[in-house]
Chains A and B, each alone.
Chain A
């Protein structure tokens, strides 16, 4: 029987705040975010990197936080759904999801909004096809994606106007 490695210290920046946590090296970033830091906006849908409900930004890239061992996040900048806005003002994407019906049951929504924010950071005016491709790593069982894609397109217009 293998013995469990000792917990280690990991420093990372979460939503702009520097955090030092103690965790087992292979503990999933998702669990650290949800259980240790209380950031339950990131969801677990499959635990194997298929559904994208746990999507967060790590150093500007979108990752499935259920596949990231926390040790790998040492020194990284993490942004979760909770860090998308400051104060009560919604992010353009969040407002667009509300307007367009992009959220139904809502369980995939935080992950999809994070993936969409990554997409818009790379492609500020994506075509519909680019949106569909850009979000194809995030599963949604409710919407059939159309109103999600419309929300992302609307947010892109808003973002560029602002």
Chain B
């Protein structure tokens, strides 16, 4: 059948019409008869034993449903990896804002007062608030040594290289916590029925994560728990693991009350109590030749996981594998660990460990360049990974990626050399200093190592009697375009118009477990399975003699109708199988870490205003190789949105901590970029294709989060001739550093740190 190519076109967003008309149904738009509202009583201290709980006077407590740990029918934990995080604190709290009790009431206005009227007395215990405090182990707050997970990657002989080096370059780089700041707060509705079991509707990324957590919390079999994703107003990782917590809370209240219960957080509760990007510290020690070749090095990568293990081991894994950047390391040792502190657990956020270690790597490259006395361009050229070489985990790069060519194109797009020279000349005459900076990086698509094999995702495609096909996946839409692209793939695979493909709501009662919607895996991994399940429909119809190899839309419809008349429903399934030649050693952390990488060179142009010490980004070029672009409008939207979050990570978004609690949990004082703050973000793609992905696609969702922070801070160094090794980089940081610098210049006798 002759159709235009659907894959590669900017097919309109499937749920777009509902979104632009305000008809899309988010969780807070939903209501059930007799529904109660739930609220959470949380710890006010970072660590301690709960001595006494008193229900204060002046509240009609008999009107409330109150849930404590005693009401949990199964295990008091949020099932994820280690299951160490309780659903409700049981006698001990390990971070501020830890859930202790749950309340529900028909009138939501009465809840805040009731929450405040619950008095909790504690015997405080010493608490830890930083990576360094956790490492010192003056107090053990988790396991034997405050460490959730360690990895060691070793390649070649690092110990033997130091004596051969012309330069040994050292640096320490840190990144702060970052709030996902989806505009829709976390929210769910739960209902419980003694026969049917639990039903949970929510704003979430991973229906089957919530499903698994509820089964364990309630000791229910899988067919008595149903999880339905509502339209989800942004997630970015922030609705990967936390929805299991809020779902558990609403479900406990629903079971005890016998009524449906809605919990929707307000902004401050969402910001102070739920996950953020892991703060990190990376130390580099690199042996470099006179020519600027990396001979080898040690990378020490640490993330602050907060009070419970949750996803930290996986975040750490991605960070560990990305720590060497897009460079060839003949010898390397990477030591990585995730440590415990008494802050709410840090969690998934777009990039998942890679933005942290790549900030360090790309700042360190500029430091190496300065030490060797060559340009930031040259240092990268001389060390880029090439086809046939191996990564730090000894994965052979098989795809024909040419990073020098990618870099050349980015330099041309920005007129880099001319600008850099001009800025250097003009900066002497102005207090508005301009600079330009580069970041080169890579991002692995899909789960790390053997992850995809363990997940063994399943997808389905159902053909209907009217000739439409429905994609059955638990992969969710939260803005990225999952619904649209998976429908494009199904339509293309079957030679049908785009309108004939639709996607089922992510409801565990109807869709199979296609794994979580994370790790830039949906288009590449799930898309490929959709393609194969869709082909299964066609092959079945051809084999049954209902359809020729080429067919019209009408012939397809008739064939489906005939098949369904004979067999009832018509569904085709596909399960993930690891491609041949993919080998990964979980013990030694060696092998094919990812089936495919996306590659990128980003260049930022900045002005630092020495009147205000603020940095503005004047121009931003984002050039990436992402396999094949399946929907240009959506792909560009992913890149620009990711770059915007990266600019926030670099220059605006600072979580202010006091004793483990976020102090600026409001949009008024936690600052994300507005439309007036951002430059033109110029997006360009290279498309090499990818044998592992649907129609040649790789993942793109997380990639754009990795590059902006180092490109911008490198540009600030170009402008000021002063390096900064920490993000977020706020005006006061620049002011303080310049102040310290000028004091040391004017008072040479003073000790310089």
Contacts and interface: CB of A to CB of B under 8 A. Distances in A.
Interface of A: 1, 34, 39-48, 50-51, 53, 80-82, 84-85, 90, 93-95, 97-110, 113, 131-133, 135-149
Contacts of B17: 90, 98
B640 A146 contact: yes
A61 B266 CA distance: 26
A133 to B, nearest CB: 6
Interface stretch (B421-429, B631-639, B745-753): B631-639
Given A98-B12, A132-B676, A136-B676, A143 B233 contact: no
A101 B484 CA distance: 12
Interface in B1-53: 10, 12-13, 15-26, 28-29
A53 to B, nearest CB: 6
Interface of B: 10, 12-13, 15-26, 28-29, 58, 180-185, 231-236, 266-267, 478-481, 633-634, 636-637, 640-645, 666-668, 672-678, 680-681
28 contacts: A40-B25, A40-B28, A42-B22, A43-B28, A47-B266, A48-B668, A53-B183, A90-B17, A98-B12, A99-B12, A100-B633, A102-B20, A103-B13, A103-B19, A104-B481, A105-B479, A106-B20, A106-B231, A106-B233, A110-B20, A136-B676, A141-B181, A141-B183, A141-B234, A143-B641, A144-B641, A144-B673, A145-B644
B267 A46 contact: yes
Contact of A109 (B19, B182, B236, B677): B19
Contacts of A90: 17, 20-21
Nearest to A53: B183
B681 A50 contact: no
A145 B678 contact: yes
Nearest to A96: B20
Contacts of A103: 13, 16, 19-20
Contacts of B641: 104, 141-144
Nearest to A80: B22
Contact of A144 (B10, B28, B181, B678): B678
| 10 A-B pairs with the lowest CB-CB distances in the bound complex, closest first | A41-B22, A107-B233, A106-B19, A144-B644, A105-B479, A104-B479, A81-B22, A50-B667, A144-B640, A40-B29
Contacts of A141: 180-183, 234, 236, 641, 645, 672
B55 to A, nearest CB: 18
Q: Secondary structure of the A side of the interface?
A: loop
Q: Secondary structure of the B side of the interface?
A: loop
A154 to B, nearest CB: 12
Given A105-B233, A106-B24, A136 B675 contact: yes
Contacts of A42: 22
Contacts of A41: 21-23
Contacts of B232: 105
B267 A47 contact: yes
Contacts, number: 169
Contacts of B680: 146
B637 A110 contact: no
Given A47-B266, A97-B20, A143 B640 contact: yes
Contacts of A44: 28
A37 B636 CA distance: 38
B637 A101 contact: yes
B668 A105 contact: no
- Of B16, B232, B633, most buried by chain A (CB within 10 Å of CB) is B16
B675 A135 contact: yes
Given A46-B267, A50-B666, A94 B633 contact: no
Contacts of B673: 144
Given A47-B266, A105-B478, 6 more contacts: A1-B58, A40-B22, A82-B22, A103-B13, A105-B234, A144-B673
Nearest to A128: B680
Contact of B676 (A133, A140, A147): A133
Contact of B183 (A100, A108, A144, A148): A108
B182 A106 contact: no
A98 B13 contact: yes
B639 to A, nearest CB: 8
A139 B674 contact: yes
A105 to B, nearest CB: 3
